[in-house]
């Protein structure tokens, strides 16, 4: 047996069971191997077994010192490409200023959109790199990054170019999504905006291979069901996966529409009710919950416990963004999902690994098995449960991504 590298001294090697998205009770099932070693070849796991059974003494070897190892986390929902800041918004919210008043004063999401539209690809990349590094330092081996802070095709494509460039400058794998986020203020401009999205933006993003999915924000103050239906059809016609922001503030049928159109995931779900929970329990769509939003905005938490109990597949992500979730640690999102959303530690690990991978249509990450990508999160503990247990200080000793040590 030969390998590029051998990692020994693993007290626990922990990985979700099964394959694909795990649903309901299966989310609580983990494969736990004790006192093992793992070999890496060509960036993938090539062998798992007892260190004494490895017969090639010339293999470069690292002793992990009796630590636990889990798959690197998958952050399946972020918005880390933006310019400007929302610190004035944060201060105003703390003073109970209504969001409508913040918008009227030139703040809110439209401030972010203005600043992002003014930025070049190089500037957006420079701003996004430390955010990506923070997410990797918080356990992420794969990060989905959404656009959505541009009104024009040029601004959106510039953001997507910056997202694409992240792959060349970070250790993590970056998964790009085109987010259709905010409609025009003037209702008379809505038809023209939708025409631009379906005739120009989605086709051009596809032609330039800048996105693998289209996400639509379905909400009373955002896009209607009819709007989303047209954009979903266009995405499907261009071979892009479908996602949706739904049920963040109001239930207007977004979950059901997204499922009808074969959505890979529906995200937020803070106000989802019994009908939406049942629909997700019966559909292959992954429910992505975002505890950072509930904490930062003081809104209800997504019903992750009820979703799991009903038999749905649940993922957890940071939703890292300047306005509603300035959360830069997937590990902390996992820990919060136990405290706020009612997941068990095992369910939270599955939600942040295997199910996060399923939300991105990836079957080569989220588990540690022979043939899968060697994305290892090494915990500074012999017990993997320190990962969802810890608040504040980082329990992560090191990250190995694609078989290589992560360097921020």
CATH number at residue 199: 3.20.20.140
Question: What are the tokens at 110?
Answer: 């439209």
Q: What is the pLDDT of residues 376-395, one digit of tens each?
A: 999 999 999 999 999 999 99
Q: Is the pTM of this model over 0.85?
A: yes
On the question of pLDDT at 407 being above 70, the answer is no
pLDDT band at 217 (very low <50, low <70, confident <90, very high): very high
Question: pLDDT at position 262, please?
Answer: 98
pLDDT band at 27 (very low <50, low <70, confident <90, very high): very high
Same structural domain for residues 259 and 387?
Answer: no
Same structural domain for residues 51 and 85?
Answer: no
Same structural domain for residues 246 and 343?
Answer: yes
Question: pLDDT at position 105, please?
Answer: 79
Backbone angle region of 248, left / alpha / beta, with phi > 0 → left and psi within -120 to 50 → alpha? alpha
Taking alpha carbons only, the member of 363, 362, 337, 364 closest to residue 349 is 337
Same structural domain for residues 285 and 242?
Answer: yes
Least-confidence region, from 17-21, 154-158, 184-188: 184-188
Question: What are the tokens at 259?
Answer: 């499922």
Q: What is the pLDDT of residues 247-282, one digit of tens each?
A: 999 999 999 999 999 999 999 999 999 999 999 999
Contact of 12 with 68, CB cutoff 8 Å: yes
Using DSSP's 3-state secondary structure scheme, residue 39 falls into strand
On the question of pLDDT at 99 being above 90, the answer is no
Using DSSP's 3-state secondary structure scheme, residue 179 falls into strand
Give mean pLDDT, residues 201-210.
Answer: 98
Angstrom distances, CA of residue 56 to CA of 50, 52, 405: 13, 10, 22
Same structural domain for residues 101 and 69?
Answer: no
Number of neighbouring beta carbons within 10 Å of residue 237 = 12
On the question of pLDDT at 100 being above 80, the answer is no
Percentage of the chain with pLDDT > 70? 99
Alpha helices in 139-286 (DSSP H): 153-166, 190-196, 202-207, 225-237, 254-260, 274-281
| Domain that residue 381 falls in | 5-73+364-405
Number of independent structural domains in the chain? 2
Same structural domain for residues 139 and 282?
Answer: yes
**CA atoms of 145 and 76, how far apart (whole Å):** 8
Same structural domain for residues 42 and 114?
Answer: no
On the question of pLDDT at 180 being above 90, the answer is yes
Question: pLDDT at position 340, please?
Answer: 98
Same structural domain for residues 57 and 164?
Answer: no
Question: Going by DSSP bridges, is the β-strand pair 173-180/213-217 parallel, antiparallel, or unpaired?
Answer: parallel
Contact of 206 with 234, CB cutoff 8 Å: no
Give mean pLDDT, residues 74-91.
Answer: 96
CATH number at residue 42: 2.30.40.10
Same structural domain for residues 66 and 209?
Answer: no
Same structural domain for residues 54 and 184?
Answer: no
pLDDT band at 98 (very low <50, low <70, confident <90, very high): confident
Same structural domain for residues 130 and 191?
Answer: yes
Same structural domain for residues 264 and 325?
Answer: yes
């Amino acid at each position: 047996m030969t390998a590029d590298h051998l990692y020994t001294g693993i007290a626990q090697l922990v990985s979700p069971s099964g394959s694909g998205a795990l649903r309901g009770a299966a989310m609580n099932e983990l494969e736990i191997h004790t006192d093992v070693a793992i070999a890496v070849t060509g960036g993938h796991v090539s062998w798992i077994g007892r260190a004494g059974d490895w017969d090639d003494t010339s293999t470069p070897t690292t002793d992990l010192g009796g630590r636990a190892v889990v798959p690197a986390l998958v952050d399946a929902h972020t918005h880390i490409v933006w310019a400007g800041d929302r610190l004035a918004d944060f201060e105003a919210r703390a003073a109970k200023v209504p969001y409508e008043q913040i918008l009227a004063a030139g703040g809110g999401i439209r401030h972010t959109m203005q600043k992002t539209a003014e930025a070049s690809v190089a500037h957006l990349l420079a701003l996004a790199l430390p955010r990506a590094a923070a997410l990797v330092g918080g356990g992420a081996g794969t990060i989905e990054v959404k656009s959505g802070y541009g009104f024009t095709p040029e601004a959106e494509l510039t953001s997507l170019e910056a997202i694409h460039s992240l792959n060349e400058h970070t250790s993590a794998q970056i998964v790009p999504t085109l987010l259709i986020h905010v409609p025009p203020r003037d209702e008379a401009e809505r038809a023209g905006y939708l025409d631009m999205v379906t005739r120009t933006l989605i086709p051009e993003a596809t032609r330039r291979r800048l996105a693998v999915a289209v996400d639509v924000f379905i909400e009373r103050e955002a896009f209607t069901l009819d709007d989303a239906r047209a954009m979903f059809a266009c995405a499907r016609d261009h071979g892009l996966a479908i996602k949706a922001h739904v049920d963040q503030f109001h239930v207007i049928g977004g979950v059901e529409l997204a499922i009808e159109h074969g959505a890979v995931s529906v995200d937020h779900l803070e106000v989802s009710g019994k009908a939406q929970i049942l629909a997700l329990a019966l559909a292959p769509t992954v429910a992505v919950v975002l505890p950072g939003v509930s904490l930062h905005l003081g809104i209800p938490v997504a019903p992750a416990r009820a979703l799991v109990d009903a038999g749905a597949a649940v993922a957890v992500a940071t939703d890292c963004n300047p306005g509603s979730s300035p959360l830069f640690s997937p590990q902390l999102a996992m820990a919060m999902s136990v405290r706020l959303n009612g997941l068990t530690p095992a369910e939270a690990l599955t939600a942040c690994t295997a199910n996060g991978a399923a939300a991105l249509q990836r079957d080569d990450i989220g588990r540690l098995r022979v043939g899968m990508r060697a994305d290892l999160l090494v915990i500074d503990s012999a017990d993997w449960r320190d990962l969802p247990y810890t608040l504040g200080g980082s329990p992560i000793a090191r990250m190995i991504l694609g078989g290589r040590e992560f360097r921020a």
